[in-house]
Amino acid sequence: MNYIILVVFLGGALLTFFAGKINNVLQDILFLASILVPASLFFAYVHAGNIFNLTLGGIHLSLGINAMSWLFALIVLGLGSMAAFYSVSFMKGKERRGYFYFNFILTIMAMTGILMSRDLVSFFIFWEIMTWSSYLMTVYNGKDVQTVGIKYFVFSAIGAYAMLMAIVVIHSINGSFMIEDLVRSFPEMPVNMQILIPVLLLTGFGVKAAIMPLHVWAPGAYSNAPMAYTSIFSGALSKMGIYGMVIVMVSLLSYVPEGYWFREVIAWMGGITAVIGTLWAIKQDDAKKLLAYSSIAQLGYIIVGIGIGTPLAMMAGLFLAVVHALFKGTLFLAVGAIERQTGTSNFREVTGLIRKMPWTFVASLISIISLAGIPPMGGFVGKWMLYESLLTSNHYLLVIVIFFSSTAAFLYCYKFLFGFFLGQEEKEWANVKEAPVLMVVPMLILSFFSFLLGTYPGIILKPIDAGMQYLGYGITQNHLWQTSVIFNTWGNQVVLQPLLYSIIAIFLFFLIFLTIKSFKQTRYVTTKDISSSGEVPKEHENLTFSVDFMQPFMRAVEPVMRRQIDKYYTGLANGLEALFDFMRKIYTGNGQTYAIYVIVFVVILLLFKDILF
């Protein structure tokens, strides 16, 4: 069954691509089918038991799933299906539909393949397929391809090649590419290999997970891809890095003494990533960029959780991974909807869409609240577990760092909502319509889930628990979580259900009190009717203060923002290119010089022949 799914994906991708030459509707249907059919096949027929073996090029490949990858497959295929529905509407009337659909399906296929891989080579193959198909999506718009696209691919390639190096090194030690063999033999490896292999693997995964010094590709790539895809890019594709990290951190590093330091370093890198991502997110004026940086920050939290690696922290990390997929997926979809309806995603241009696109707003609001980690949304449960795990495992400074980042996140959360939906309703956007149903419904479904998980996290903690048991953690149910109760290891708890009911009760009471029309002659006035020193604002007057919104805060944190890792990378790249440019001057173009090179070569060889041979 395992390979059939992949084949269906691949065939679907090709069929969809070529169907575009015949009929657009047919293409849409084929596209949906080639996402949904394998997805439903996956959940219906793939179980941990069935393993598909294949020998290709003398290498033993093996496909199968485990509880951990099932969890991630849930993210990938769930979010993928939602985004697929969305895409059909999103892509209506756009060019390069075949290209988009093809790469979309291919990415999902690659991610499913990664999760199914039981050996490192097929892992790598699918990893690279994922990389280049996502690269092709990144450059879909044809905008900034030589900068953003290349940067993304170069970083991906660095990561992938680090991973490849680790894979071949593992093979030279083990004689096998199987992940199981790696896990089994890792504790017996020489110490330098015990350090080298995790470093290389983590570099590979860290790039996709946008961990701190390797994150510079993410803002551009996330914001450049079409939004329907970015929701997967940020929501699911980055989780592949997390998935890899989970395997490395837990399966390998738990068993060796150096593991502790690795975990600490990774956790701290995650923390710093979170801070940097948040600060830069606050600064952005483009919603896509903002969400991209926000994704970096959120991935930082997840990495912190996984880095700490206690059962609670791991649970927190995985839970956050799921929730992040939900809310960030929704948010990117929302931005896509807004961009489609208004033609821009810049806060400087669009304002006051709340009455035009109410459902998009509701989805965004729920997701933003979830992102900010405020109860009663799913994000809160993840954040809570993360903090508790940091506290209970004595990471007192890290918890401050995380808290700083997540508090500062409110700034950009607010900026996102305010920038698009609130503020003055300008005449320019008076005719904006709500996005088509097919775009709104996926957003609402996703945000409903992030709401549901806030009160009943047990729904998703159950598979997480199964996954963690697969990794060797004990059973966490009933002493770390119940369906709607979460505990920490000190025995403190949050009982979510009564909290939700109280919140709903209070909310409804006051909402009715405030909304009810006949009471107190409550009435609506336009946003032009504001008290601005008795003036009647003119239509062309800009009363929208979403530009340079957080200036005071940015002034306060200015010393941190002055240094950008990106600049160093750019400097390095430019320096290297200049060096290469200089080096190629050795080909002078003069045949005689070349002849002299030959003679010099011979002379040098003759001189050093004793050393060389």
- Residues 127 to 146 in contact with another protein, rule: CB under 8 A: 128-129, 131-132, 139, 142, 145-146
Counting contacts by CB under 8 A, is residue 190 touching another protein?
no
Q: Which of the ranges 22-30, 64-72, 181-189, 598-606 carries the binding residues for another protein, by CB under 8 A?
A: 598-606
Query: Which residue from 17, 85, 90, 124 is in contact with another protein, where contact means CB under 8 A?
Result: 124
Query: Which tokens sit at 276?
Result: 């940097």
Q: Rounded to the nearest whole angstrom, what is the least distance from the CB of residue 40 to another protein in the complex?
A: 25
DSSP 540: T
Q: Rounded to the nearest whole angstrom, what is the least distance from the CB of residue 390 to another protein in the complex?
A: 9
Counting contacts by CB under 8 A, is residue 580 touching another protein?
yes
Counting contacts by CB under 8 A, is residue 596 touching another protein?
yes
Nearest-angstrom CA–CA distance, 152 and 157:
8
Q: Rounded to the nearest whole angstrom, what is the least distance from the CB of residue 388 to another protein in the complex?
A: 6
Q: How many CB atoms lie within 10 A of CB 601?
A: 10
Counting contacts by CB under 8 A, is residue 391 touching another protein?
yes
Q: Rounded to the nearest whole angstrom, what is the least distance from the CB of residue 143 to another protein in the complex?
A: 8
Q: Which of the ranges 41-49, 154-162, 239-247, 440-448 carries the binding residues for another protein, by CB under 8 A?
A: 154-162
User: 3-class DSSP state for residue 608?
Assistant: coil
> Cβ neighbours of residue 202 under 8 Å, at least 6 residues apart?
245, 248, 262, 266
User: Measuring CA to CA, which residue among 302, 299, 285 is closest to residue 223?
Assistant: 285
Query: Which tokens sit at 101?
Result: 């659909």
User: 181 or 254, CB closer to another protein?
Assistant: 181
Q: Rounded to the nearest whole angstrom, what is the least distance from the CB of residue 400 to another protein in the complex?
A: 6
Query: Which residue from 91, 321, 372, 471 is in contact with another protein, where contact means CB under 8 A?
Result: 372
User: 81 or 330, CB closer to another protein?
Assistant: 330
Counting contacts by CB under 8 A, is residue 530 touching another protein?
yes
> Cβ neighbours of residue 111 under 8 Å, at least 6 residues apart?
76, 80, 126, 130, 236, 237, 240
Point out which residues pair with 117 in neighbouring strands: 63
Query: Which tokens sit at 458?
Result: 């047990």
DSSP 56: E
Counting contacts by CB under 8 A, is residue 490 touching another protein?
yes
Site for another protein in 401-460 (CB under 8 A): 403-404, 407-408, 410-411, 413-414, 417-418, 421-425
| 100 and 88 Cβ atoms separated by less than 8 Å | no
Query: Which residue from 369, 439, 443, 453 is in contact with another protein, where contact means CB under 8 A?
Result: 369
User: 154 or 444, CB closer to another protein?
Assistant: 154
Q: How wide is the angle at C-alpha 409 spanned by C-alphas 224 and 569, nearest 5°?
A: 45
Q: Rounded to the nearest whole angstrom, what is the least distance from the CB of residue 389 to another protein in the complex?
A: 11
Q: Rounded to the nearest whole angstrom, what is the least distance from the CB of residue 528 to another protein in the complex?
A: 7
Query: Which residue from 70, 86, 153, 473 is in contact with another protein, where contact means CB under 8 A?
Result: 153
Nearest-angstrom CA–CA distance, 506 and 206:
43
Q: Rounded to the nearest whole angstrom, what is the least distance from the CB of residue 248 to another protein in the complex?
A: 18
Instruction: Report CA-CA distances (Å) from 138 to 68, 134, 374, 400.
Output: 28, 6, 32, 35
User: 437 or 605, CB closer to another protein?
Assistant: 605
Site string for another protein, 159-188 (x = CB under 8 A): --xx-xx--xx-xx----------------
| 8 and 104 Cβ atoms separated by less than 8 Å | no
Counting contacts by CB under 8 A, is residue 586 touching another protein?
yes
How many residues bind another protein (CB under 8 A)? The answer is 143
Give the orientation angle of helix 311-342 with respect to helix 458-471, to 10 degrees.
130
Site for another protein in 57-96 (CB under 8 A): 57-59
Nearest-angstrom CA–CA distance, 477 and 454:
17
Point out which residues pair with 63 in neighbouring strands: 52, 117
Q: Which of the ranges 212-220, 297-305, 462-470, 599-607 carries the binding residues for another protein, by CB under 8 A?
A: 599-607
| 287 and 420 Cβ atoms separated by less than 8 Å | yes
User: 478 or 490, CB closer to another protein?
Assistant: 490
> Cβ neighbours of residue 175 under 8 Å, at least 6 residues apart?
none
DSSP H or E segment with residue 486: strand 485-487
Counting contacts by CB under 8 A, is residue 482 touching another protein?
no
User: 24 or 176, CB closer to another protein?
Assistant: 176
Site for another protein in 96-115 (CB under 8 A): none
Counting contacts by CB under 8 A, is residue 568 touching another protein?
no
Q: How wide is the angle at C-alpha 154 spanned by C-alphas 148 and 158, nearest 5°?
A: 145
Site for another protein in 8-67 (CB under 8 A): 55-59
Counting contacts by CB under 8 A, is residue 521 touching another protein?
yes
User: 272 or 408, CB closer to another protein?
Assistant: 408
User: 3-class DSSP state for residue 23?
Assistant: coil
User: Measuring CA to CA, which residue among 327, 346, 326 is closest to residue 338?
Assistant: 346
Counting contacts by CB under 8 A, is residue 546 touching another protein?
yes
User: 255 or 404, CB closer to another protein?
Assistant: 404
Q: Quick check: bond before 376 cis, omega within 30? A: yes
Site for another protein in 325-354 (CB under 8 A): 352, 354
Counting contacts by CB under 8 A, is residue 365 touching another protein?
yes
Query: Which residue from 119, 286, 388, 465 is in contact with another protein, where contact means CB under 8 A?
Result: 388
Q: How wide is the angle at C-alpha 73 spanned by C-alphas 244 and 160, nearest 5°?
A: 30
Counting contacts by CB under 8 A, is residue 400 touching another protein?
yes
